[in-house]
Amino acid sequence: MRELPLAKAINEGLRAAMLADSSVMLMGEDIAQLGGVFRVTEGLQEQFGPSRVVDTPLAEAGIVGTAIGLAMRGYKPVCEIQFDGFVYPAFDQIVTQLAKLTSRHEGTQAFPVVIRIPYGGHIGAIEHHQESPEAYFAHTAGLRVISPATPHDAYWMIQDAIASSDPVIFLEPKSRYWHKGQVDVEVPGLAMNQAEIARVGRDVTLIGHGAAVAMMQQAADIAEGEGISIEVINLRSLSPLDMDTVMESVRKTTRAVVVQEAPGNASLGSEVAATLAEQAFYVMQAPVLRVSGFNAPFPPAGLESIYLPDTDRILDAVDRSMAY
């Protein structure tokens, strides 16, 4: 067991993958000598050299396009997008090329490209630096979309993503980069497409991913003091969704609240709520409630605490669910 912050856990996971497979290489803006804006790749160029840890031009479409070509030649490129809002220049390459190419080749050509995206708020940054674009990619057939919530998840899930023959969008909750947790570097965690029951409870199921998991845990601690037992589901995989684990929990608690930083309209929370309404309607004692960011552009940093969900808004939804 090692205690690591989430950013360092990703760094160690990348290191392990590069040691195990010489075809793994890293690409991105300022990731080599600087180690990236968040220092996630710090020290890796020194160990593996400039041909495997590559500083790229400021051209996200070029980064992903080059990665697609490298994948066709047998490499396993891992691309870093510096901030969530910077991914859109590469959106065409990701959703119209990378996501479609395996199908276009009728399965004869794999495209093992990982695209790392720091995402989400709570860091006091400006526009295009605190967004949550997961729904765009989860909606796109041909992509796997995953997001770790803990250092242990981060260490193993980045290795699973690199080992996958499918393209993977790896969403890193940047507000959790510096939070430490226990990492078992010997025993793997769950498979990357599995959800985790992060806390066992009996009254209400809280469902979320990334940074929302820590908020849900905090809300569960407070609710416990008020006599309400909360079960917490860490989704981990956003596409595909592990609805079996979610359904098992909701059938037990009969109540569900979905939490996310992204706006609620046409979102991951919408998909989870719709599936629960289809498959668990007759066992639930209350409608599925959603706690999310508002359907508005991300505000200036001084207003982020109003825009983003917090424990108060989660607990309010729990109270409303319990009132039915």
The answer to whether residue 81 scores a pLDDT higher than 90 is yes
Q: Pick the last residue of a domain from 183, 216, 234.
A: 183
Q: In this predicted structure, what is the pLDDT of residue 127?
A: 85
pTM given for the model: 0.97
- Mark whether 217 and 155 lie in a shared domain: no
- Mark whether 174 and 202 lie in a shared domain: no
Count of the separate structural domains present in the chain: 2
- Mark whether 6 and 75 lie in a shared domain: yes
- Mark whether 213 and 308 lie in a shared domain: yes
The answer to whether residue 307 scores a pLDDT higher than 90 is yes
Q: Pick the last residue of a domain from 183, 210, 228.
A: 183
Q: What percent of the chain has pLDDT over 70?
A: 100
The answer to whether residue 153 scores a pLDDT higher than 90 is yes
Q: How far apart are CA 190 and CA 162, in angstroms?
A: 15
Query: Has residue 312 been placed in a domain?
Result: yes
Q: In this predicted structure, what is the pLDDT of residue 118?
A: 98
Q: How far apart are CA 320 and CA 222, in angstroms?
A: 16
- Mark whether 205 and 285 lie in a shared domain: yes
The answer to whether residue 73 scores a pLDDT higher than 90 is yes
Query: Has residue 191 been placed in a domain?
Result: no
CATH of the domain at 150: 3.40.50.970
CATH of the domain at 257: 3.40.50.920
- Mark whether 248 and 129 lie in a shared domain: no
Q: Pick the last residue of a domain from 148, 183, 218.
A: 183
Strands 168-173 and 2-5: unpaired
- Mark whether 141 and 177 lie in a shared domain: yes
Report the pLDDT averaged over residues 283-312: 95
Instruction: Please report, for the chain, how many H helices and E strands are present, in that order.
Output: 12, 14
Enclosing domain of residue 253: 196-323
User: Please, which pLDDT band fits residue 189 given cuts at 50, 70 and 90?
Assistant: confident
> Which amino acids are annotated catalytic?
129
Q: In this predicted structure, what is the pLDDT of residue 183?
A: 97
Kindly report, residue by residue over 113-132, the tens digit of the pLDDT: 999 999 999 999 988 999 99
Query: Has residue 190 been placed in a domain?
Result: no
- The 3-class secondary structure across 271-291, one letter per residue, is HHHHHHHHHCHHHCCCCCEEE
- Mark whether 178 and 209 lie in a shared domain: no
- Mark whether 205 and 173 lie in a shared domain: no
